[in-house]
Amino acid sequence: MSTGVRVVEVDPDSTGQRVDNFLMKHLKGVPKSRIYRIVRKGEVRVNGGRVKADSRLSAGDQVRIPPVREAEPTEVRVSDPVLQQLYL
């Protein structure tokens, strides 16, 4: 889980990379749907402006990455003995 807003400078190796792919690299464990949602809502900014997921980055761009919670694993509980045999 990220604790606060981060500003990441795009390095020359990431020049030409799409914003969504750049975020997936920096937000490991966060579902793609969550990444696309924060981009659509305007929470991700490049050089102070809103961007689309398919925007391309340039070296030196400042990418604002908001705090994002990782997907929490869900626990399945089975109380019926028949279902326990089928699913566990």
The CATH number of residue 34's host domain is 3.10.290.10
Number of domains making up the chain: 1
Q: Which residues of 18-36 are buried (b: 16+ CB within 10 A; e: fewer)?
A: ebbebbeebbeebeeeebe
Assess whether pLDDT exceeds 70 at residue 77: no
Q: Torsion over CA of 34, 2, 5 and 53, rounded to 10 degrees?
A: -30
Considering the domain boundaries, does residue 29 fall inside one? yes
**Tens of pLDDT, residues 10-59:** 999 999 999 999 999 999 989 999 999 999 999 999 999 999 999 999 99
CA dist 40 and 34 (Å) reads 10
Task: Please report which helix (H) or strand (E) contains residue 40, including its range.
Answer: helix 32-40
Considering the domain boundaries, does residue 76 fall inside one? no
- Tokens coding 75: 């626990």
Considering the domain boundaries, does residue 75 fall inside one? no
Considering the domain boundaries, does residue 80 fall inside one? no
Q: DSSP per residue over 57-85, as a string? A: P-TT-EEEE---PPPPPP-----SHHHHH
- By residue range, what is the domain housing residue 37? 6-70
